[in-house]
Structure 1
Amino acid sequence: MVQPASEHETTRSTGTARGRLWKVVAVVEVLAAAAAPLSLSELVEVVPLPKSTLHRLMRHLMEIGLVAQTESKRYELGDYLQRLAKQSGPARAYDVSCAITPFLLELFRATRHVVSVAVLSGGEVHHAGLLYDHDHARVAKALRQPMPAHCSAAGKLLLANGSRSAPEPSFAHTPWTIVHEDVLRRELSLIRRTGLSYARGEYLPELFEVAAPVYLGSADPVAAVVVSGTIERMDPHSVGRVLAGVVASIEKHADLTETA
């Protein structure tokens, strides 16, 4: 639990941005450490603020969901932080992968390459729901780490089909990494026309990826379904055809899937 600030510190910081932030953090940490919901009087004992000030603060925190009030007028943490955490890259990728697992299994059986779901978070791509065999363990291990969007099939796909603008390419991970903005723009335009994204040795020299978007009823893609393997063992055209067919099935049965 956070150590309560002294009355002097609280008074000195009242009205400043730092002081307002401290009050919010203090309340959240106290409620997080509490074994049960707390009354306003119990909160006043550990958060050195006047009761009227604390009451106003709790009302504001309830409005944004940081704090919730029980039927007995006691306070507990709201679901805002939980909802915020679920919007993160890994959590969103996991939710989508769970919703379409039968389709991912079908894709894995048809291709025998690594199958995953990927989402874009900031400038990075996060994979989840990986399906693979022993021969592709190294590829799967690489995909468990966040990848820069500009040198990932999923990243380029989601940039091409989403509403956010493409970041300027920066670091070249391999000789095949796209590092020029005009080249990336042409690549994204091609992806929009074909519906598929390819990355050949752009992040790791031996890695080949093919990605297709999954919308599940949304205007922008909610994720990308990705098939990954090694350059010498993957036939990108046949994999692309199978991937497109499976993604079409996912969209056709989107009403049967649900993302948490």
Structure 2
Amino acid sequence: MSSEIPDKRSAIDKAMDVLNAFGDQAYTGIGVTEIARRTGLPKSTAFRVLASLQSNGAVERVGDHYRLGKMIQDLANTDESDFQQTLRDVLTPFLADLYSRTKQTVHLAVLDGKDVVYLNKLYGHMHVRSPSRIGGRVPAYCTAVGKVLLAHDSQAIEEVLTQPLRAWTPNTIVDPESFRAELAQVRAENLAYDRAEILRTLNCVAAPILDRNRRPVAALSVSGPVGRFIPQNHATMLRQVCFEATRALAATMNAQERSASRSTQ
């Protein structure tokens, strides 16, 4: 006679346990074996629950990992601001330029508190698992786009450092003084790197797009798989595209101001 205790959790209970099991890895994703371990479900059951959640948009599969899907992440996101819409509309053509020049995965992102939010993304030819998705957010301190935006925002830096920095990989910079030194280098070069800091398999380089006061308001990045993608090779071209994007954004903001001024006269 089997001594195994029947699992009396309902289907909804099991689904909620699976969603809660993601924890800090909601954006980067975890495998079905680890989900089964965290929930106490048989691996076959965990796989069936994940398949059901995936079909409803609550989780998404990236390679052999799962992460929270668009439906769940959208519940936590506030509505996109008018300014973010303007940034996406004006800067997406430059994201497309960046893609056409590199054929790598490229991102357009903004800083929101301690996280970066991805306004747009184009996938490159070299597939690599990535925590980024359009409309999604990830911690700023361990991403290239996040570091290049944090570097010029002292208040955001202090907010990030109010709590210990989690080591997502062995390369994540978690020492506060080392992190400050990293950001000082970013400010000096107007360029930031993610050296496999959020995922062991991912490298990235990012540069800022500036407003008319020369403050970073968004960032573009190029990313690819460790071992096959060399971020430094794309630095000069990335700076050039961001310079062109900065000019276009300034022209748009000037035109919007002139239009608003005429409408009030």
TM-score, normalising length: structure 1 = 0.60
> Which residue number in structure 1 is paired with residue 217 of structure 2?
222
Verify the 8 A CA contact 2:88 2:119 in the aligned structure 1: yes
Whether 1:173 aligns to 2:168 is yes
* 1:184-204 per-position Cα deviation (integer Å, ceiling 9, x unaligned): 000000000001000111001
Change (3 A) 1:102 1:122: same
Verify the 8 A CA contact 1:93 1:117 in the aligned structure 2: no
> Which residue number in structure 2 is paired with residue 86 of structure 1?
80
> Which residue number in structure 2 is paired with residue 114 of structure 1?
105
Take 1:137 and 1:256, find their aligned partners in 2: how far apart are those partners? 36
Verify the 8 A CA contact 2:126 2:224 in the aligned structure 1: no
Verify the 8 A CA contact 1:216 1:254 in the aligned structure 2: yes
Take 1:159 and 1:255, find their aligned partners in 2: how far apart are those partners? 21
Secondary structure at the counterpart of residue 149 of structure 2: helix
Question: CA shift at 1:132, angstroms?
Answer: 1.4
Structure 2 counterpart of 1:101, from 87, 92, 95? 92
The one-letter code matched in structure 1 to 2:120 is G
Structure 1 counterpart of 2:243, from 248, 251, 258? 248
Change (3 A) 1:206 1:137: closer
Take 2:199 and 2:84, find their aligned partners in 1: how far apart are those partners? 22
Q: Which has the larger radius of gyration?
A: 1
Change (3 A) 1:256 1:228: same
RMSD of equivalent CA atoms = 2.4
Deviation beyond 4 Å, 4+ runs, structure 1:
91-94
Question: CA shift at 1:93, angstroms?
Answer: 4.9
Structure 1 counterpart of 2:117, from 126, 138, 147? 126
Verify the 8 A CA contact 1:199 1:208 in the aligned structure 2: yes
The one-letter code matched in structure 2 to 1:149 is A
The one-letter code matched in structure 2 to 1:201 is A
Percentage of identical aligned residues: 35
Structure 2 counterpart of 1:209, from 195, 198, 204? 204
Take 1:148 and 1:93, find their aligned partners in 2: how far apart are those partners? 19
Secondary structure at the counterpart of residue 164 of structure 1: helix
Structure 2 counterpart of 1:143, from 110, 116, 132? 132
Uncovered stretches (5+) of structure 2, i.e. residues with no partner: 1-77, 257-265
The within-5 A match list for 1:181-200 is: 181-200=176-195
Change (3 A) 1:133 1:189: closer
Uncovered stretches (5+) of structure 1, i.e. residues with no partner: 1-83
Change (3 A) 1:181 1:148: same
Verify the 8 A CA contact 1:98 1:129 in the aligned structure 2: no
* 1:116-162 per-position Cα deviation (integer Å, ceiling 9, x unaligned): 111111211111211114543633xx211421111111111111112
Change (3 A) 1:137 1:98: farther
Take 2:201 and 2:252, find their aligned partners in 1: how far apart are those partners? 34
Verify the 8 A CA contact 1:96 1:117 in the aligned structure 2: no
Verify the 8 A CA contact 1:94 1:129 in the aligned structure 2: no
Verify the 8 A CA contact 2:128 2:224 in the aligned structure 1: no
Take 2:212 and 2:249, find their aligned partners in 1: how far apart are those partners? 7
